[in-house]
Amino acid sequence: MAKKIKVALIFGGRSAEHEVSLKSAAAVFRNLAPEKYDIFSIHIDKSGLWRIVDSPVRLSKCGLGKPRSFLPWGGVGLDRALSADIYFPVLHGPYGEDGTIQGLLEMADVPYVGAGVLGSSVGMDKAVAKSLFKEQGLPVVPWITLLEKDWAGRKRAVAGTIGRKFPFPVFVKPANLGSSVGISKVKSPAGLVRAVDKAFLYDGKVLVEKGIRGRELECSVLGNEEPEASLPGEVLPSREFYDYADKYIDGKTGFRIPADLPAPLVRRIRKLAVKAFRAIGLSGLARVDFFYEEDRRRLYVNEVNTIPGFTEISMYPKLWEASGLAFPSLVDELIRLGFEKHGLKKRCTDWNAR
């Protein structure tokens, strides 16, 4: 009988998306075949302490051992309880999706699932990602970036500049957050200051984007050096836009999987999704979000999520299922890609073996 692969699920985290991470990790846990994997769970609480728990489904209050502030791999006092064959971060937002946990895993020289440090950090920062997409010729929604120091004390003047640059409505969002946390749709100049102030509660950098009246489309990407894109799907929000409550609380959002689109547009979406994936140096997985203005036949790359939601209603696994790859096979492939990426890097950077 083949030896089981020991997988460490890492979830929770310090970001505003902590609760979403728990739901995603629970779904991944349920789809990791017990005959293939020996699974153990590491919960990072909202203060940043790490603790081994029973599972993402049943969080143990006492866990096993004392909480830790980091993973002490290597050297004197190696904690064998935390060692695994591969690590599977299911962390959304800052301190998990932004390259920080990936840097820790790189320093530990262990295989892990998903994008590396650079791709994760760029994907997390919507302003930087959009700049790179634009440089690569990808169509992006017009935007401006605000820093808190430029906003404080000049709110009315900056708001006036925004109003002259973009027609209303506009969207205001933190640069480094996901799951629609902190995002506002602003219909008139009167609501702009409040929306920007709200976004600055979550990040020191804020984007203001031109409002696009169009269909919301999503496409899943999977792979390392030769990524492939799924069939695209469509989000049918029950509110004015696909906000946090619509995603995770109300459960009224509709999905069309796959999206009802002409074949040439489907091909273009899949091609652009892979191009966006490569533009910021991703590996493993990502979900690429689009807007489509049907009347003008104009497609925009909105953003890329490097650790997309994995809940039962999340588009990433649903799109792959519609494309012929079931959830259990999807997590198998993600783990294989994690080992592949680590092996490639070892061959290129193991100077002591030369």
Residues classed as catalytic: 17, 179, 248, 287, 289, 303, 305, 309
Q: Got the DSSP string for 170-234? A: EEEEETT--TTTT-EEE-SGGGHHHHHHHHHTT-SEEEEEE---SEEEEEEEEESSS-EE---EE
The three-class DSSP label of residue 106 is helix
- Using CA atoms, how far residue 283 sits from 82, 192, 225, 334, in Å, is 25, 37, 7, 10
CB 127 within 8 A of CB 207: yes
Distance CA 200, CA 178 (A): 14
Structure tokens of 271?
A: 């091609």
Distance CA 32, CA 60 (A): 20
Distance CA 121, CA 306 (A): 9
Residue 140 is given by DSSP the state: B
Distance CA 219, CA 232 (A): 5
Buried b (16+ CB within 10 A) or exposed e, 316-343: bbbbbbbbebebeebbbbbbebbebbbe
Cα-only R_g, the chain? 21
Residue 339, CA atoms < 13 Å, CB-side half-sphere: 11
Question: Element (H or E) spanning 145, and its range?
Answer: strand 143-147
Q: Got the DSSP string for 318-337? A: HHHHHTT--HHHHHHHHHHH
